[in-house]
């Protein structure tokens, strides 16, 4: 029983260490810098559907 507790504790520590960065970029919408520097047809159509954020 003691080994099972340590194993669960170890998995918990690993899970917490793996979740450090919770910022997930939105890769479906183009960034404002890309839109200003090199606008493409797909970026224009994508920006019509959702607000463009930097």
Contacts 24+ apart (CB under 8 A), 3-11: none
Q: What b-and-e string marks burial along 6-31, b requiring 16 or more CB atoms within 10 Å of the CB?
A: eeeeeeeeeeeeeeeeeeeeeeebbe
Place 50 in a pLDDT band, splitting at 50, 70 and 90. Answer: low
Q: Which residue has the higher pLDDT, 24 or 3?
A: 3
Per-domain residue ranges of the chain = 28-54
Question: Where does the pLDDT of residue 6 fall: very low under 50, low under 70, confident under 90, or very high at 90 and above?
Answer: very high
Q: Are 35 and 52 within 8 A, CB to CB?
A: yes
Return d(Cα 6, Cα 8) in angstroms, integer: 5
């Amino acid at each position: 029983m003691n080994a099972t507790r340590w194993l669960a504790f170890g998995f918990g520590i690993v899970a917490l260490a793996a979740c450090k960065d919770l910022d997930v970029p939105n890769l479906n919408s183009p960034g404002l810098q890309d839109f200003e520097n090199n606008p493409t047809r797909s970026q224009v159509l994508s920006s019509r559907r959702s607000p463009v954020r930097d």
